[in-house]
Amino acid sequence: MNGAPHHKVRLAIFASGTGTNAQKIIDYFRAHPTIQVGLIVCNKAGAGVLSIASREGIPHILIDKEKFFRGNAYVDELKGSGIDFIVLAGFLWKVPAALVSTWHKRIINIHPALLPKFGGKGLYGHHVHEAVINSGDTESGITIHYVDEIYDHGAPIFQEKVIIEEGDTPETLAKKIQILEHLHFPRIIEKVIEEKQNS
């Protein structure tokens, strides 16, 4: 036995929007020996991430709010797809307790600010950067963290900062943050999974 696992760790990427993070994650794990992106889960018809899924030939599920929050939260579908790990990459709904408990400590999220500041309901996308700029803070950044039942609340895994310069706007800040997201998220996902496998 050469020690290679019987199967690759299968990731599901949950996303609601454009999917630039999803694309970077897909690229990063494209030829990875032990980890693969097995599913894209989206809650918004027509979202950019769905075109990425079809272009990449990755199966996708377009989820329904009723079933997600008052049904089985797609636990059976995710298990049926052999999902080992869930990555939220711009997913705007709260994750139901059924998913958090089934994939305990195996769901991670990226937030475009330095949590616990500027987190929680309604603080997503440009709303975050507007709040940061309006606060007069001189730095922002990204936070990658485990997901629990409360928005943007789980244990932190990784943070990286950017300096906010005179004249920065929510748009210029968003650009700086996006560079960090694309640079770090795939690598941190790999690190977390490999640490869990070796524990």
Residues that bind ligand GRF (CB under 6 A): 15, 17-22, 89-90, 110-112, 125, 181
Comparing CB distances to ligand GRF, the nearer of 15 and 63 is: 15
Cβ 1 to ligand GRF, closest distance in Å?
A: 38
Comparing CB distances to ligand GRF, the nearer of 3 and 46 is: 46
Helix axis angle for 126-135 and 170-198, nearest 10°, is 110
50-67 as b/e, with b when 16 or more CB fall inside 10 Å? bebbeeeebebbebeeee
Is 126 an annotated catalytic residue? no
Sequence-distant (≥ 6) Cβ neighbours of residue 70 within 8 angstroms: none
Q: Which of 111, 129, 145, 184 is catalytic?
A: 111
Cβ 26 to ligand GRF, closest distance in Å?
A: 11
Cβ 39 to ligand GRF, closest distance in Å?
A: 16
Q: What DSSP letter does each residue of 78-133 carry, written as one string? A: HHHTT--EEEESS--SPPPHHHHHHTTT-EEEEESS-TTTT-STT--THHHHHHHH
Comparing CB distances to ligand GRF, the nearer of 24 and 106 is: 24
Cβ 17 to ligand GRF, closest distance in Å?
A: 4
Comparing CB distances to ligand GRF, the nearer of 18 and 81 is: 18
Catalytic residues: 111
